[in-house]
């Protein structure tokens, strides 16, 4: 394969496990080694890509992904790594990069210490395979040892968590001991006291925000760039308050094995039940006394039970804020006059979006929805033929753009499926020649089949747009027939009738100056907004 001109990528990676090996794997050492190699071989146009503190098992590394984006753009002609373990520790995925992805872009991969060059493998193909396999086995072995170590540590009563929870700090003299962080502990105690005095989690979150108290994430200085927390470090959420109220650690206890990860390749978190959690009492200073924590837990459990037993809101799943498109949450109130339920924008309520309350009374909503349903029925009765014609024309216009976009994407998917078929043939030929073993071949086939299934599923979904168009047209006809059976629905509004007619309701903010009630937009099933 002929080399091409372009930038040489010098890729360095270091994880916490690699740091245990010593200085030889340090980022500084990797940079020095790769830079010297590039200079000696005349690769003067080079750029560093560095992932520090990230495992080689995952390929979702910021600079690795940036490097591969540059590969796809044709910017990079070769990649230099200290050894193959720096590139990655998942043999199957590394094999895909070496055998298919990098050759597709005519990109050379050089592992300096392993003396491997993908443009000149010759007799090193078997060595490359075993290198990648041993690198994965190393990651698997480290993971298993860590799991056993954490299990033994947790069962002995020591904490399995690395960092103290909000309200505590590490003891400089003993990293396994927690000391009370007086400032944060004061906030924790305040949250428990407010909750014990009857204040809800939403109200507590707002109070802390208004008082300018930083969230636990902001307090620890771990805010992610361009996040909501960066824009407002005092934006407390209901989930954060509930999490604090649920932590028995504030009573001075150690709680282990709440969660675990599925495997060293799958980082998904699994939550354990109470029977799998281990609790060791009085292991550090308490911030909250047990009686206060017990009352908080009882109230949280009661809230959860009430939430599960309460009858669903009348406008559940159909009511949204017009401005930020968030769901409208019910505020249940029973007054002497009648049901005083109302709805409020969840984006504003949780302060996750810059929005206003859009507060609207449930009885007003029922009246407006019933009125608009009656108006649609009257309009249909006045001129059924004209009404049908107008609504069908709107549906055609709405689907035309979607169908054109679907056709374009379907063509792209067809090309990708052809490429997968070609790669499957190549893999089979490689297996026949004995350059890949049966285990690797099976894993590649599983990977290709998974991607093929994903693309075929997407293709099927796109095909359904045409079917959806016909379904919507037929649904509109059914809607017209349904309307024709009604004259004037009687009050009060029936929920089943509302759900039959209505797909979505969006609530505008009330104009305080004019004193008018909220305007609402009602999207009828199949025919949309009138």
Query: Per-domain residue ranges for the chain?
Result: 7-152, 168-305
Per-residue model confidence (pLDDT) at position 1: 40
Determine the average pLDDT of the residues in 467-487. 80
Q: What is the dihedral of CA 318, 321, 323, 324, to 10 degrees?
A: -90
Q: Please tell me if the domain spanning 7-152 has the same topology as the one spanning 168-305.
A: no
The CA-CA-CA angle for residues 109, 431, 428, to 5°, reads 95
Is residue 366 over pLDDT 50?
yes
At the second CATH level, the architecture of 168-305 is Alpha-Beta Complex (3.90)
CATH superfamily of 7-152: Resolvase, N-terminal catalytic domain (3.40.50.1390)
**Of the ranges 122-131, 176-185, 431-440, which one carries the lowest mean pLDDT score?**
122-131
pLDDT given for residue 2 in this prediction: 42
pLDDT of residue 281: 83
Maximum average pLDDT range among 3-7, 330-334, 381-385: 381-385
Q: Bridge-partner residues for 342, per DSSP?
A: 331, 361
pLDDT at 440 over 70: yes
Share of the chain above pLDDT 70, in %: 79
pLDDT tens digits along 442-460: 778 778 877 888 888 888 8
CA–CA distance, 148 with 163 (Å, rounded to integer): 20
Closest alpha carbon to 244 in 309, 192, 292, 290: 192
What token pair was written down for 315? 């406008």
Q: Where are the beta strands (DSSP E) in 228-382?
A: 254-256, 259-261, 269-271, 278-280, 319-321, 328-331, 342-345, 360-361
Is the Cβ–Cβ distance between 233 and 227 less than 8 Å? no
Closest Cα partner for 119 from 3, 261, 29, 277?
3
Identify the residue with better confidence: 287 or 132: 287
Q: Count of alpha carbons within 13 Å of 153, Cβ hemisphere only?
A: 14
- Backbone φ, ψ for residue 112 (5° rounding): -60, -55
Q: Which two tokens stand for residue 155?
A: 């069962």
Q: Which residues have CB under 8 Å from 432's CB, separation 6+?
A: none
Which range of 62-66, 322-326, 343-347, 494-498 scores highest in mean pLDDT? It is 62-66
CA nearest to 361, candidates 336, 344, 342 = 342
Q: Binning pLDDT at 50, 70 and 90, where does residue 49 land?
A: very high
CA distance 459 to 34: 44
Average pLDDT of every residue of the chain: 80
Distance CA 468, CA 473 (A): 8
Identify the bridge partners of residue 180 per DSSP, sorted by sequence position.
168
Measured CA distances, 59 to 12, 65, 156, 455 (Å): 13, 8, 35, 21
Q: Could you give the CA distance from residue 96 to residue 87 in angstroms, rounded to a whole number?
A: 12
The whole-number average pLDDT for the span 475-501 is 77
Tell me the percentage of the chain whose pLDDT exceeds 90: 11
- Give the model confidence (pLDDT) of 239-296 as tens digits: 889 889 988 889 988 887 666 665 545 556 666 566 677 778 888 889 999 999 999 8
* pTM higher than the cut 0.75: no
Least confident of 13-17, 31-35, 361-365, 368-372: 13-17
Residues contacting residue 84 through CB under 8 Å, at least 6 positions apart? 94, 111, 114, 116, 128, 131, 132, 135
Which segment of 62-66, 80-84, 131-135, 507-511 scores lowest on mean pLDDT?
131-135
């Amino acid at each position: 394969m002929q080399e091409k001109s372009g930038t040489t990528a010098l890729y360095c990676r270091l994880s916490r496990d690699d740091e245990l090996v010593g200085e030889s794997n340090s980022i500084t050492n990797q940079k020095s080694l790769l830079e010297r190699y590039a200079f000696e071989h005349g690769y003067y146009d080079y750029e560093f890509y560095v992932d520090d503190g990230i495992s080689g098992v995952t390929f979702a590394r910021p600079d690795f992904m940036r490097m591969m984006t540059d590969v796809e753009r044709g910017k990079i002609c070769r990649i230099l790594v200290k050894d193959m373990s720096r590139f990655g520790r998942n043999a199957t995925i590394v094999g895909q990069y070496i055998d298919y992805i990098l050759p597709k872009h005519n990109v050379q991969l050089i592992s300096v210490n392993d003396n491997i060059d993908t443009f000149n493998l010759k007799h090193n193909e078997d060595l490359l395979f075993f290198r990648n396999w041993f690198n994965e086995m190393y990651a698997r072995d480290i993971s298993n040892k860590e799991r056993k170590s954490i299990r033994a540590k947790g069962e002995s009563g020591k904490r399995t968590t690395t960092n103290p929870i909000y309200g505590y700090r590490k003891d400089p003299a003993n990293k396994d001991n927690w000391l009370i962080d007086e400032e944060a502990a004061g906030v924790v105690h305040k949250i428990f006291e407010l909750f014990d005095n009857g204040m809800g989690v939403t109200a507590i979150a707002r109070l802390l925000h208004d008082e300018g108290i930083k969230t636990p994430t902001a307090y620890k200085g771990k805010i992610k760039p361009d996040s909501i927390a960066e824009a407002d470090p005092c934006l407390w959420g209901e989930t954060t308050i509930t999490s604090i109220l649920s932590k028995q650690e504030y009573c001075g206890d150690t709680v282990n094995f709440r969660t675990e990860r599925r495997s060293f390749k799958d980082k998904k978190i699994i939550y354990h039940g109470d029977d799998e959690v281990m609790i060791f009492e009085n292991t550090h200073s308490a911030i909250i006394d047990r009686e206060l924590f017990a009352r908080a837990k009882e109230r949280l459990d009661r809230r959860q039970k009430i939430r599960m037993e309460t009858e669903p809101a009348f406008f559940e799943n159909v009511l949204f804020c017009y401005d930020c498109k968030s769901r409208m949450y019910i505020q249940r109130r029973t007054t002497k006059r009648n049901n005083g339920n109302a709805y409020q924008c969840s984006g504003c309520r949780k302060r996750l979006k810059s929005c206003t309350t859009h507060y609207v009374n449930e009885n007003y909503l029922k009246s407006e929805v019933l009125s608009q349903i009656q108006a649609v029925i009257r309009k249909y009765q006045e001129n059924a033929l004209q009404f049908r014609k107008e609504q069908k024309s709107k549906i055609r216009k709405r689907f035309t753009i979607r169908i054109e976009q679907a056709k374009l994407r379907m063509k792209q998917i067809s090309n990708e499926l052809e490429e997968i078929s070609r790669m499957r043939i190549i893999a089979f030929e490689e297996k026949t020649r004995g350059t890949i073993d049966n285990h690797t071949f099976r894993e590649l086939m599983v990977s290709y089949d998974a991607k093929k299934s994903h693309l075929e599923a997407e293709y099927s979904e796109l095909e359904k747009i045409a079917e959806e168009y016909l379904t919507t047209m037929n649904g509109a006809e059914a809607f017209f027939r349904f309307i024709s059976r009604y004259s004037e629905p009687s009050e009060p509004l029936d929920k089943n009738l509302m759900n039959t007619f209505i797909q979505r309701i969006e609530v505008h903010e009330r104009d305080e100056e004019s004193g008018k009630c909220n305007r609402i937009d009602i999207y009828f099933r199949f025919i949309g907004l009138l």
